Structure 1
Amino acid sequence: MEKLDCIVIGAGPAGLSAALTLGRARRKIAIFDNGKNRNRVTRESNGFLTRDGIKPQVFKEIAMKELESYPSVSISNETVIQVKKEEQKDLFLIKTSNNHFYFAERILLATGIQEEFSFSQIKQYYGKSLFSCPYCDGWEQRDKPLAIIAEAEKHMIHLTKLVYNWSKDLIVFTNGHQLSNNVRNDFARKEIKIYTTRIKNLHGDNGNIKSIELESGDNILRSGGFVVPSFYRPNQFAEQLNCQINENKRIITDGGRSTTNGVYIAGETETVGPSSLMMAAADGNKAAFSINMDITLDRF
């Protein structure tokens, strides 16, 4: 079985950026990706210099096309289901859902994160008219009548204050959670309405929200908005490889290196929090520098 220099799990901006750097360093690598990247539901990605407004799938296709210039890089549309360290061979072994096995000296985890919503119907509108990142989508929602859907008071305060830069026509929905008087007074001064009644239904079509119906019977017109999801890693690879993870679920790293020798982390996988395309790509580039330097020092 052929031994690879590095296996990259995940072909989002972090994994693809790392693959490009490693390919240019003449390292033999394989990228594994199952197409379940978080931004696949997004109509366009914003804020990446020279690629502002690009569709995420087009961004991915351009990156993969560029990688074809480097013969030491291969891409496989397989789902990795197991990763483990073969201590006797000092290699990592991965197994895919197609029952294929691959060996590599090093592993880069760039599988990203996924969202969960307290109100499941949000998924129908997420990435189209409901968003989580004002820096990514605030410009397109400027001056529109927007909803802020958040349950934890600290998250709601942060998001509302931030979105206020793009639109002053805001209404906050807490889905049954109460807010302190101080928050109510602060928002009242900015003429921001608050509804603490539970949400009954979201109305709209083709992913475009039109109104929010409450259990009280109120139906409030809105044409877009921002929400606060919770995030999770879609796999347990970091745990399986004994990477140290802190109390906030962040994988401890230094220059992309995890605490497990030979295991590297890039992008949203590290923080279990959302990141922009540009920041994730930068993380992949940084991790690739560490991988290449470690290989260089081991072999020189």
Structure 2
Amino acid sequence: MMVLDCAVIGGGPAGLNAALVLGRSRRKTILFDDNKPRNAVTSESHGFITRDGIDPQEFKRIAQEELSRYPDVSIEKLRVHHIKKENNLFLVETENGEEYYAKKIILATGFKEELPDIPRVKEFYGKSLFSCPFCDGWELRDRPLAVIADDQKAFHMAKVVSNWTNDLIVFTNGNKIHSLEEKELLQSKGISINEKQIATFIGEKGMLEQIQLEDQTTVLREGGFIAAEWKQAASFDSSLEYTLNEQGGIVTDDWQRTNTEGVYACGDTRIAGPSQLIIAAGEGSMAAIAVNAALIEEKFN
């Protein structure tokens, strides 16, 4: 029976960078990637020096090409079906019944978003409506923008998005969520609040032009940011007893270690929401360093 040093679950920036560091450490590593990324609708990724504005699929292609230089790393385009710990090893079973044993597991499956149930929202998401101002705010700068959120995220998002525009309206989609103090503070900064329900979005080819409300009135907006609900993208069954935080992210220490011995987590999987490319990749690197350090200690003990 061949035993791998590490199985990395998830082929986004966190998993790819983890596999790179493991490969460079001469660790027998397998990366499982079912190629269903959260940012599939996104045409550009930002904030990663030397790769600012790159197409996410091109980023992945370059990363996989770099991994191919390391003979100890293999990539399997398979969905993991089940993981369980057997003594000091982990049994990873794929959707087609193949089984792999590994000494360590890195979870980098990320999150998937559930957008509000508003007609046509998916047509605009990833083109003129986004979830992360730090990722896409620059491209929308100085335009009339919207923050769309029906819970307490709206207040925080409005403050953040105001960094990129002075023409901002918060749409709560039929909900009254702001306190009087919050309303007064936003309005004092020139940010208005619209509490009517959104009927639909108007525009062509994913580029927002207007937001139509329940009373058939329309408001000119050329883009914005929308709050989504985030859920773990991992679809496999697992007997791994790691802890989740209140947002559903996997709890780790500074070395990306979960409370289950031998299991590490990084990227969106850990923070329970969208992470910048560079942060996810950095966490993947740290998880791989921690795995390598643990394997070294086990060798000498």
Q: What CA RMSD, in Å, does the superposition of the two structures yield over aligned residues?
A: 1.6
Instruction: Tell me what 1:7 maps to.
Output: 7
Instruction: Tell me what 2:107 maps to.
Output: 109
Length, aligned pairs only: 297
Residue 248 (structure 1) shift: 4.1
User: Deviations along 1:53-96, whole A, 9 cap, x unmatched?
Assistant: 11111111111100111000000110111111122xx2111111
How far, CA to CA, are the matches of 1:257 and 1:190 in structure 2? 42
> What SS is found at the alignment partner of 2:270?
helix
**8 Å contact kept, 2:171–2:193:** yes
Instruction: Tell me what 1:241 maps to.
Output: 240
Residue 239 (structure 1) shift: 5.9
> What SS is found at the alignment partner of 1:269?
helix
How far, CA to CA, are the matches of 1:299 and 1:181 in structure 2? 61
Residue 236 (structure 1) shift: 6.0
Cα 1:238/1:272, change in 2 over 3 Å: farther
> What SS is found at the alignment partner of 2:39?
helix
Instruction: Tell me what 1:227 maps to.
Output: 226
Instruction: Tell me what 1:145 maps to.
Output: 144
Alignment of 1:182-221 (within 5 A): 182-221=181-220
Residue 185 (structure 1) shift: 2.3
Amino acid at match of 2:133: P
2:184 paired with 1:170: no
Instruction: Tell me what 1:32 maps to.
Output: 32
Deviates more, 1:95-104 or 1:29-38: 95-104
Residue 2 (structure 1) shift: 2.2
2:156 paired with 1:158: yes
**8 Å contact kept, 2:210–2:220:** yes
Instruction: Tell me what 2:61 maps to.
Output: 61
Instruction: Tell me what 2:96 maps to.
Output: 98
Residue 156 (structure 1) shift: 1.1
How far, CA to CA, are the matches of 1:97 and 1:150 in structure 2? 37
Amino acid at match of 2:265: I
Amino acid at match of 1:267: G
Gaps of 5+ in 1: none
How far, CA to CA, are the matches of 1:84 and 1:206 in structure 2? 45
How far, CA to CA, are the matches of 1:151 and 1:265 in structure 2? 30
User: Deviations along 1:182-219, whole A, 9 cap, x unmatched?
Assistant: 23322332333321111111122222122111111111
How far, CA to CA, are the matches of 2:111 and 2:236 in structure 1? 13
How far, CA to CA, are the matches of 1:239 and 1:214 in structure 2? 44
TM-score between both structures, scaled by the size of structure 2: 0.94
Amino acid at match of 1:200: A
Amino acid at match of 2:68: E
How far, CA to CA, are the matches of 1:163 and 1:4 in structure 2? 45
> What SS is found at the alignment partner of 1:119?
coil
User: Deviations along 1:72-128, whole A, 9 cap, x unmatched?
Assistant: 0000110111111122xx211111112211111111100000111222442221111
How far, CA to CA, are the matches of 2:236 and 2:288 in structure 1? 19
TM-score between both structures, scaled by the size of structure 1: 0.94
2:21 paired with 1:21: yes
**8 Å contact kept, 2:85–2:239:** no
Residue 238 (structure 1) shift: 8.8
